[in-house]
Amino acid sequence: MKTITLIIIMLLSPTLKAKEVNLTELENVSQNLQFLIAPTNVDEYGKLEKLCKCTAKIAQEKWMPAKYSEFSNALSGYAKLVNSAMENMEEMLKNGPPRSSETVISGMRGLVEIIESCEEKYGIRVEF
């Protein structure tokens, strides 16, 4: 019986790790989208997190894993640049805000319909 249990655990182990990685990537995309998306009404910042989670989840389901992962990595890189710029405001005022990569720009273009569907779902309008 212990052998069977051990075999089942060994077989499921890669699956569990893959889901864990996907969940982490999903959370990262959801959080980092908030650097690029803002509600049109200041009172709706509470709904923004829900919209970003909705957008990240649908994109993960619709996009190929490689495309989603590439977008996630590029978006994380952009978020780091923004955080760095916010820590050094004088430098940002001199050089301007960080520019997003072509991967982030094309990814955001690919998210337009998804963002619009999530806007309808949560009753929020956003700019990006």
Query: What pLDDT, in 10s, does the model give residues 5-64?
Result: 334 444 444 433 444 445 589 999 999 999 899 899 888 888 999 999 999 999 999 999
Q: d(Cα 124, Cα 118) in Å, to the nearest integer?
A: 8
Average pLDDT over residues 78-98: 87
Model confidence at 102: pLDDT above 90: yes
pLDDT band at 86 (very low <50, low <70, confident <90, very high): confident
With contact defined as beta carbons under 8 Å apart, do 113 and 53 qualify? no
Q: d(Cα 28, Cα 26) in Å, to the nearest integer?
A: 5
Average pLDDT over residues 97-113: 94
Listed by start position, the domains of the chain span 22-127
Q: Which helix (H) or strand (E) holds 44?
A: none
